[in-house]
Structure 1
């Protein structure tokens, strides 16, 4: 089976997150799993390729307006436990209408083991075509990426004044952040030479202030559900 994971209602209904203080990607080789979901040729959120049949309209190009591969969505499934009021269980699995061609610019990312946890301070990589300035209104056409770090759930709960559940992973507080338009995009950690998709951009504070973390949906908390959808 070939699938892709993204955010559910938050990502599909409203582009909420993008990269602040990132850098222009010069190729897709650093983040070949990054995809752009588009409506009528316009980017509205990100996602990550986790096998060869994913969901998106743009893969394999740092410029979302000139995709190397353009594939229509076949189906998507939102996690049945999604709770909009607290933005919990914020996941969707999306299947493409045909297989992606795997190459150096288009490559799936591994999923973490069920229950896998990484401590606060762990180095991570974020990317996307979201806003580069909080409160702005212009999306970059060139993919942005930034090195960030994970934030402990207790610290994040205190800073955000919001309960961070086991399905949420915070990151940031190092001078960069996801922002509007990055929703659904990857939070990746390299572990023993392998990149793992540990989270998908979910939500953050208005205007993406750098003194607050952003929050990703934590994939290790629902691996059984993801694998079950991939097996269909």
Structure 2
């Protein structure tokens, strides 16, 4: 029997080590859309900047009194820190099966865009990417599965998308049209990476936010698939909130 876990964790511990199989980011210019969700000064989930007033994350990251930190590889010392105005979960969110794991956060004031803070584009409605497509993941999640080693330095890793049939076989769980699997590259997202970005480049070199870190197998093995909530399945809902 396989066990699944959502990747959310309030990070009270801190250590300057790598994500599971990942690398230290040296600046925010490679992932300027990356955001850290903070509560009581501690990172608990990731998010992605999609507009001046909005960031995208996972519904299971829902908290009150959230601050969104951006623009720095060290989440403790952000370039910009803005309180949340509202946290809107997708109305179809189903916690039991971790489906429709989407949320849009509206900020109380606009972000200032520069080389360290930039929005990432969303895919087109219904847009699909084949298994094997190269992808990028990033976040401040655990660096050791089942441990409490949380980096202060942003981590990133190259991975690849996995087609639904292969993911179903590996996870033993129904993969719905709102789920995008990735992994099998010797690295993985883990607790604390929840809500953070799964990114691909299209044929024109444009970065697209394919998904938001959702769940995986407990203790985050690097030889297993993990799951992101697939944004192309709910673009109309996102646009209805943000007006993008």
Q: What TM-score do you get using the length of structure 2 for normalisation? A: 0.87
Deviations 1:64-105 (A, max 9, x none): 011010100001110000001100000011100000000000
1:209 aligns with 2:221: yes
CA distance in 2: counterparts of 1:83 and 1:69, whole angstroms: 33
Residue 31 of structure 2: aligned partner: 31
Q: Aligned to 1:136, what secondary structure does the other structure show? A: coil
Deviations 1:102-124 (A, max 9, x none): 00000000000000000000000
Match of 1:220 among 216, 232, 242: 232
1:200 aligns with 2:194: no
Q: Aligned to 2:51, what secondary structure does the other structure show? A: coil
Q: Aligned to 1:180, what secondary structure does the other structure show? A: coil
Q: 5+ unaligned residues in a row in structure 1: which ranges?
A: 1-9
Task: Provide the alpha-carbon RMSD of the alignment.
Answer: 1.7
Match of 1:112 among 97, 120, 123: 123
Match of 1:189 among 190, 194, 200: 200
For 1:169-188, what aligned pairs fall within 5 Å after superposition? 169-188=180-199
CA distance in 2: counterparts of 1:221 and 1:168, whole angstroms: 9
CA distance in 1: counterparts of 2:243 and 2:25, whole angstroms: 33
CA distance in 1: counterparts of 2:95 and 2:172, whole angstroms: 17
CA distance in 1: counterparts of 2:143 and 2:232, whole angstroms: 28
Residue 51 of structure 2: aligned partner: 51
CA distance in 2: counterparts of 1:185 and 1:144, whole angstroms: 11
CA distance in 2: counterparts of 1:167 and 1:157, whole angstroms: 13
Whether the aligned pair in 2 keeps the contact of 1:156 and 1:213 (CA below 8 Å) is: yes
Whether the aligned pair in 2 keeps the contact of 1:110 and 1:197 (CA below 8 Å) is: yes
CA distance in 2: counterparts of 1:205 and 1:73, whole angstroms: 30
1:70 aligns with 2:81: yes
Q: Aligned to 1:35, what secondary structure does the other structure show? A: strand
1:136 aligns with 2:147: yes
CA distance in 1: counterparts of 2:9 and 2:237, whole angstroms: 24
Q: 5+ unaligned residues in a row in structure 2: which ranges?
A: 1-5, 11-17, 56-66
CA distance in 2: counterparts of 1:211 and 1:25, whole angstroms: 23
Q: Aligned to 2:238, what secondary structure does the other structure show? A: helix
Whether the aligned pair in 1 keeps the contact of 2:21 and 2:222 (CA below 8 Å) is: no
- Please state how far the C-alpha of 1:212 moved relative to its aligned partner: 1.0
Q: What TM-score do you get using the length of structure 1 for normalisation? A: 0.92
